[in-house]
A and B are shown apart, each in its own frame.
Chain A
Amino acid sequence: NAGVTQTPKFRVLKTGQSMTLLCAQDMNHEYMYWYRQDPGMGLRLIHYSVGEGTTAKGEVPDGYNVSRLKKQNFLLGLESAAPSQTSVYFCASSAFTARNSPLHFGNGTRLTVT
């Protein structure tokens, strides 16, 4: 059972470039999330989804877009990357809300924007 898989694991972008991070889960979870973790900071929620076809903004959504076209996939897009978006990005999924069921995290994508 793979759980939550994130691709790619590493990426370097130049300012202004775009990219998409892919998250896939095989647990049939309804809820999916994208977090970022910066040095010395806790995890901060970027966007989340409560089911296929739905998305919602989290704590730090600016500069990102997301899509949940299929239940098992949650895509995070950066249209015009900025150095401030250098971070480690974690995708997570849960069967129910984050307080009622554990979040299952992927192993992260380390993104550097130069």
Chain B
Amino acid sequence: DQQVKQNSPSLSVQEGRISILNCDYTNSMFDYFLWYKKYPAEGPTFLISISSIKDKNEDGRFTVFLNKSAKHLSLHIVPSQPGDSAVYFCAADHYGGSQGNLIFGKGTKLSVKP
């Protein structure tokens, strides 16, 4: 049973517009969430994270929102740029869980068109 779900396999956005990538989770024990970005033929790279004690974290063009009651988080990219075209993975962790075992979603492929 998937604990971290990214229900949109792909998303296409026009350059300059907002990209919104969604992630849902089922395990109420999760208290820390991360987003990783992956380009083809490369390993994922860390993008942004958020603790469950917050509902928003911002880093430049990237903002992550957390809605604990809905068990939902989203990544906003504003404005979107062609270089943002990549696969975005949502990941979750819970305090006291296996030290290395982030639970990853299946990813959403973002395409930003010029």
With a cutoff of 8 Å between Cβ atoms, the chain A residues found around residue B4 in the complex are: 42
Partner of B43, one of A44, A50, A59, A92: A92
Q: How far is B43's CA from A113's CA once the two chains are assembled, in angstroms? A: 21
Q: Establish whether residues A58 and B105, one from each chain, have CB atoms under 8 Å apart when the complex forms.
A: no
With a cutoff of 8 Å between Cβ atoms, the chain B residues found around residue A106 in the complex are: 43
Q: How far is B91's CA from A98's CA once the two chains are assembled, in angstroms? A: 10
Measured CB to CB, the nearest residue on chain A to B32 is A99
The smallest C-beta distance from B14 to any residue of chain A, in angstroms, reads 26
Q: Establish whether residues A56 and B100, one from each chain, have CB atoms under 8 Å apart when the complex forms.
A: yes
Complex interface residues of chain A between 42 and 82 (CB less than 8 A to chain B) = 42-45, 48, 50, 56, 58-59
Q: How far is B3's CA from A44's CA once the two chains are assembled, in angstroms? A: 12
Most chain A CB atoms below 10 A, which of B89, B98, B99: B99
Q: How far is B6's CA from A40's CA once the two chains are assembled, in angstroms? A: 11
Q: How many residues of A contact B (CB 8 A)?
A: 26
Q: How many residues of B contact A (CB 8 A)?
A: 26
Q: How far is B102's CA from A59's CA once the two chains are assembled, in angstroms? A: 10
The smallest C-beta distance from B25 to any residue of chain A, in angstroms, reads 12
With a cutoff of 8 Å between Cβ atoms, the chain B residues found around residue A41 in the complex are: 106
Measured CB to CB, the nearest residue on chain A to B90 is A42
The smallest C-beta distance from B42 to any residue of chain A, in angstroms, reads 5
Residues of B within 8 A of A (CB): 4, 9, 32, 34, 36, 41-46, 49, 89, 91, 93, 95, 98-107
Q: A41-B106, A103-B46 are in contact. List 9 more A-B contacts (CB 8 A).
A: A31-B99, A45-B101, A56-B98, A58-B101, A97-B99, A99-B34, A102-B46, A107-B41, A108-B41
